[in-house]
Amino acid sequence: MRSAVVRTDRYSRGAIAFHWIIALAVLFNLGVGLFHDSLPSAWRVMPLHKAMGITILVLSLARLAWRLTHTPPPLPVATPHWVRAAAKTSHWALYALTIILPITGWMMVSNGTPPRPLDWFGLFPIPFLPVSRAASGFGHDAHEILGLAMAGLVVLHILAALRHHLLLRDSTLVRMLPILRLPSA
Ligand code: HEM
Ligand code: HEM
């Protein structure tokens, strides 16, 4: 029989779903953003990148609202102070980037040259932001810098998760996975 006890040692299903849906979309967009010049132009990846980016923005705003109203599971008591600080800082930086990075991309294409259509996977048009040419240029510069910063932070985040799982052999990764179960409460 399943236990009715609420588990406080793993992330909730909602948090896990938000994490992995957004993580896959971000990995796709980082890959497309960084390598779009080397991909065949016939693949027309940038319309996908833009639609995916706007989807990430909407999902991340919903995720932030979720996070501010739900408490994540506590870290193990023995976690050193510097690890707690590093995890907290990098997690909030990731939340911020999943919102600010797509906004800078949206600003960039809203008054860019040449003007290009913006739609959601070809299904309906997405409105442009009312920004000046200068603000669009700022969005372009910020998108490139923050895009590289996010790629670096995601690499560190993945290395940290693997360090916990493979070297420290604790439950940090497993408690964010939908399939692998922790021992029953
Ligand atoms: C979280 C979502 C997003 C991520 C992770 C992301 C990431 C990136 C990265 C890493 C680049 C390459 C930057 C460089 O040249 O070094 C890029 C380029 C680009 N992104 Fe995004 N992006 C996102 C959302 C968006 C959105 C919402 C739009 C527009 C609606 C957009 C439009 C573009 C365009 C047009 C480029 C090409 C810029 C150029 O080649 O000059 N991106 N993106
Ligand atoms: C690529 C985009 C990704 C983004 C934007 C992202 C973002 C985040 C954020 C914001 C949190 C904090 C959740 C919270 O406590 O509020 C988190 C936790 C976590 N992420 Fe990611 N993540 C990404 C990819 C990954 C990948 C690929 C892995 C695994 C290899 C991973 C493993 C984890 C784990 C294990 C935690 C829980 C850490 C803990 O318990 O303290 N993430 N992630």
CA-proximal residue: ligand 1, atom 31 (nearest): 105
Higher-pLDDT residue of 63 and 78 is 63
pLDDT of the residue at 2? 47
How far apart (Å, rounded) are the C-alpha atoms in residues 60 and 66? 9
pLDDT of the residue at 113? 82
Using one digit for the tens of pLDDT, what is the confidence trace for 128-148? 999 999 999 999 999 999 999
120 φ, ψ to 5°? -95, 95
- Reply yes or no on whether the pLDDT at 96 is more than 60: yes
- Reply yes or no on whether the pLDDT at 180 is more than 90: no
- Reply yes or no on whether the pLDDT at 171 is more than 50: yes
- pTM equals 0.94
Q: Measuring from each residue's beta carbon to the nearest atom of ligand 1, which residues come in under 6 Å?
A: 26, 29-30, 33-34, 46, 49-50, 53-54, 56, 98, 101-102, 105-106, 108-109, 143-144, 147-148, 150
Residue 184 · residue 3 · CB < 8 Å: yes
- Reply yes or no on whether the pLDDT at 6 is more than 80: no
CB 176: neighbour CB atoms within 10 A? Answer: 18
Ligand 2 atom with minimal separation from the 95 CA: 10
Residue 175 · residue 73 · CB < 8 Å: yes
Q: Which ligand is nearest to the CA of 104?
A: 1
pLDDT of the residue at 76? 83
